[in-house]
Amino acid sequence: MSEEKLYVIKSRSDDNFYFSGDRMMPRWSDNLISLFGSYEVAKEIAEDNNGQPVTFVEEPEKIVITKEQAEIVENAHDQKYPANYISGNSGLVASSEEKLLNAYVNGYTVAKEKKYLVYKTLGGKQEHEQFAQAYRSSVYPGTVSWILTNEVTNRSFSQFTEAEIEHYGLQDCEKEEVTDDGTK
């Protein structure tokens, strides 16, 4: 990040007005608002336009991390020496440590786990292709049941993460990734 500061001119009478070129604008717009590299120039123009110079601060982009990494960052907040805690819990990869330190300082979002529809294509002499699709049983919680179907359908109870596929022993099945909008 550069150490140079940028300044904008904000109206003294209304917090919603910013200086743009030759007048105050009612809304912030990246295309219209003037940025100044010098505080002195911004102050001079601000005085002529009933404004005040303010430092323009750009918020850093949040780091995308896994749920496990988020736990490390959250636990670091409770430590006397957070950087030491992150260093000791981020594994042997230096880039992972740097990523977690950035997440601690700049904030983070947790990556969504990919979800999959899990099924087996059934062979045979039937006229139409058939599938046995896995789903979480509501009758026997914590187990997987199968349904015979003509097409693989996307329902919340039929979506599995990689960890769940491994837990239930479904690695030898076919799988289709489900997108964020719920389609296959």
Lowest mean pLDDT of 6-10, 70-74, 85-89, 106-110, name the range. Answer: 6-10
- Residue-level pLDDT at 142: 85
- Residue-level pLDDT at 174: 92
Q: Average pLDDT for residues 83-100, to the nearest whole number?
A: 82
pLDDT digits (tens, 9 = 90+) for 115-172: 999 999 887 777 778 889 999 888 888 889 999 988 888 888 899 999 899 999 999 9
Distances (CA, A) of 120 to 21, 106, 124, 168, 171: 65, 44, 13, 15, 11
pLDDT digits (tens, 9 = 90+) for 75-87: 999 999 999 999 8
Per-state percent for the chain, helix, strand, coil, to nearest 5: 25, 30, 45
- Residue-level pLDDT at 140: 86
H or E element in which residue 47 lies: helix 39-48
- Residue-level pLDDT at 124: 72
pTM: 0.49
73/77 Cα distance (integer angstroms): 7
79/96 Cα distance (integer angstroms): 19
Please tell me which residue, 54 or 76, carries the higher pLDDT value.
76
